[in-house]
């Protein structure tokens, strides 16, 4: 890549970059010309050369309340000093009980239990396993198939990549899970380019689930998992009515519906969850990221009323679900989660996101006509900017845009030839303007 990447200030990096095998990264290219972040506060990172970088991506879609929030930092500090770790297998400590209680309050009584994990990937594995075990618990043990969707991202566990729909995340890893099928994705530039919010065309794509039911028979299908808004594959907003139609078809056939809200949860759409935004209720919801504002790894799976109860038939000394992680409900993560929920509530950040969404939408669509741009998409405080791929070199244009934006003190995220923006919900209008002005300038400069 270009030699123009900002060099590191002397002495500001670890001596040897080699031993860290970096995730989802071109390791050799990065280690030749690294981009290092060394601190953060509110809307900004500080890079190793001292520049303040505006965070257009909430880290990796997780720092929804902004960086370095005092209340969360102090809660974590206090908790690690008080109770660093305690088991939750046949033992307990107060915090995960309190956090689960706070989380179900978001759900109007429709989701009444929460299973804690350490990441989105683990939340997905947990939800898929609960779905299959639940079907068995209600006497539907032949229902073991899982249905995902093309261009879906559900993390990197074997369950998640099996139901996921990203070629490169699947093709290197052998046979994956048996008995998985996929719905078609909903992205169609011809029909829906430059839609504001939910596109009009495409609700009928949910009917493809009927085709899969006809092919496999409903009695073999445990669950369908989708992201309400696909994030990682470039901000694919669901067509109007699509999610409700999926819900109807699942109901008709006794299939559980799982919403993967690892990105859409905790205010990203201007509501607590996508469930609230779209008014469609799944059976299980996977979350992570914004649950702790990215400070301490933690995920949470919400189970609809009745699911937990279905496991409670065995004698009461029997373990009902043979699943869990050493760190399910970790005290420090739970403390971070509680403090994060306090910040969201006290600062009204979900409502703030909703109030800013129309301004954000106009800012996104002001890029219409900008160089290379072939589509603009938005929902809540999320934007997808799709670029025309450079002939013969897919993804190069977007990656160079990412590097150039960083040189211009803005952190964006790119996937394929799509730029994704999803700032902390504390962003202000001036910062929104700066993000899109910078992207416009970058696109002028990138070949
Ligand atoms: N489900 C969804 C919908 C996600 O977006 C995961 C599961 C997995 O979460 P963990 O915590 O295991 O990484 C995710 C993660 C990007 C990007 O830039 C997105 C994610 C992670 C890293 C980068 O699009 N999403």
Q: pLDDT for 408-433, tens place per residue? A: 999 999 999 999 999 999 999 999 99
Query: What share of the chain in percent tops pLDDT 90?
Result: 96
pTM of structure:
0.96
Query: Which residue has the CA at smallest separation from atom 19 of ligand 1?
Result: 232
Query: Of all protein residues, whose CA lies closest to atom 1 belonging to ligand 1?
Result: 154
**Separation of alpha carbons 89 and 315, rounded Å:** 18
For a mutational test of ligand 1's pocket, the pick from 154, 155, 284, i.e. the residue with the most ligand atoms closer than 8 A to its C-beta, is 155
340 and 352 in one domain? no
- The DSSP secondary structure of 206-254, one letter per residue, reads GGHHHHHHHHH-GGGEEEEEE-SSB-TTT-BPPPTTHHHHHHHHHHHHT
At 411 the three-state DSSP class reads strand
> Ligand 1 pocket, 398 CB below 6 A?
no
**Ligand 1 center from residue 62 Cα (angstroms):** 9
Residue with CA closest to ligand 1 atom 14: 155
Residues 374 and 386 sit within 8 Å (Cβ to Cβ): yes
* Same-domain check for residues 144 and 248: yes
Asked if residue 437 and residue 305 are part of one domain, the reply reads no
- Let me know whether 103 and 194 are in one domain: yes
Question: Which ligand 1 atom minimizes the distance to the CA of 299?
Answer: 11
Question: Rounded mean pLDDT of 322-329?
Answer: 98
Q: Residue 10 C-alpha to ligand 1 middle, in angstroms?
A: 33
Mutate to test the pocket of ligand 1, among 22, 225, 266, 289 (most ligand atoms within 8 A of CB): 289
Domain with 282 in it: what CATH number?
3.40.640.10
Q: Is pLDDT at 373 greater than 90 in this prediction?
A: yes
Q: How far apart are CA 48 and CA 37, in angstroms?
A: 6
DSSP-derived 3-state class of residue 380: coil
Ligand 1 contact, 55 CB (< 6 A): no
How does pLDDT run across 145-163, given as a tens digit for each residue? Answer: 999 999 999 999 999 999 9
Say how many Å lie between the CA of residue 231 and the centre of ligand 1.
8
How many domains does the chain divide into?
Answer: 2
Closest ligand 1 atom to Cα of 233: 24
Nearest to 264 by CA among 169, 105, 381: 381
Give pLDDT, residue 1.
37
Report whether residue 262 contacts ligand 1, using a CB cutoff of 6 Å. Answer: yes
Residue 61 CB less than 6 A away from ligand 1: yes
- Report which protein residue has its CA nearest ligand 1's atom 16: 232
Whether 230 and 134 share a structural domain: yes
Residues 143 and 176 in one domain: yes
Same domain for 341 and 354? no
pLDDT above 70: residue 14? no
Provide the residue range defining the domain that includes 439.
27-65+348-445
Q: How many C-beta atoms lie closer than 10 Å to residue 133's C-beta? A: 18
Q: Give the per-residue pLDDT at 314.
A: 86
Provide the strand spans (E) within 18-80.
Answer: 37-41, 44-47, 52-55
Q: What is the CATH number of the domain that holds 439?
A: 3.90.1150.10
């Amino acid at each position: 890549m270009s030699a123009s990447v900002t060099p590191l200030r002397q002495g500001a990096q670890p001596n040897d970059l080699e031993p860290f095998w970096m995730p989802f990264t071109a390791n050799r290219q990065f280690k030749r010309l690294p981009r290092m972040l060394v601190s953060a506060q509110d809307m900004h990172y500080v890079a190793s050369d001292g520049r303040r970088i505006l965070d257009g991506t909430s880290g990796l879609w997780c720092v929804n309340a902004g960086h370095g929030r005092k209340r969360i930092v102090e809660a974590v500090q206090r908790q690690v000093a008080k109770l660093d770790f305690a088991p939750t297998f046949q033992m307990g400590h107060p915090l995960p009980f309190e956090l689960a209680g706070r989380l179900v309050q978001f759900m109007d009584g429709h989701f009444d239990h929460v299973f804690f994990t350490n990441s989105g990937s683990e939340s997905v594995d947990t939800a898929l396993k609960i779905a299959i075990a639940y079907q068995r618990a209600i006497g539907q043990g032949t229902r073991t198939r899982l249905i995902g969707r093309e261009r879906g991202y559900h993390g990197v566990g074997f369950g998640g990549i099996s139901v996921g729909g990203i070629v490169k995340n699947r093709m290197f890893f052998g046979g994956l899970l048996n008995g998985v099928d996929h719905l078609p994705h909903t992205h169609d530039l011809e029909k829906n380019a430059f839609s504001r919010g939910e596109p009009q065309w495409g609700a009928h794509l949910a009917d493809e689930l009927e085709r899969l039911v006809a092919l496999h028979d409903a009695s073999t299908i445990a669950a369908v998992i989708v992201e309400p808004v696909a994030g990682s594959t470039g901000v694919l907003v669901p067509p109007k009515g699509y999610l409700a139609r999926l819900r109807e078809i699942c109901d008709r056939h006794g299939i559980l519906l799982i919403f993967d809200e690892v990105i859409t949860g905790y205010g990203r759409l201007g509501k607590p969850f996508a469930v609230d935004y779209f008014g469609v209720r799944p059976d299980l919801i996977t979350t992570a990221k914004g649950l702790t504002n990215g400070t301490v790894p933690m995920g949470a799976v919400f189970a609809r009323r009745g699911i937990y109860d279905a496991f409670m038939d065995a004698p009461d000394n029997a373990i009902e679900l043979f699943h869990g992680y050493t760190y399910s409900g970790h005290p420090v993560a739970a403390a971070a989660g509680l403090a994060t929920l306090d910040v969201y509530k006290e600062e009204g950040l979900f409502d703030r996101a909703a109030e800013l969404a129309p301004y954000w939408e106009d800012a996104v669509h002001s890029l219409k006509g900008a160089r290379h741009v072939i589509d603009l998409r938005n929902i809540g405080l999320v934007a997808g900017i799709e670029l025309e791929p450079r002939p013969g070199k897919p993804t190069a244009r977007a990656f160079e845009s990412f590097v150039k934006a960083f040189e211009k003190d803005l952190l964006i995220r790119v996937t394929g030839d799509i730029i994704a923006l999803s700032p902390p919900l504390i962003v202000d209008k001036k910062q929104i303007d700066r993000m899109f002005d910078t992207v416009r300038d970058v696109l002028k400069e990138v070949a």
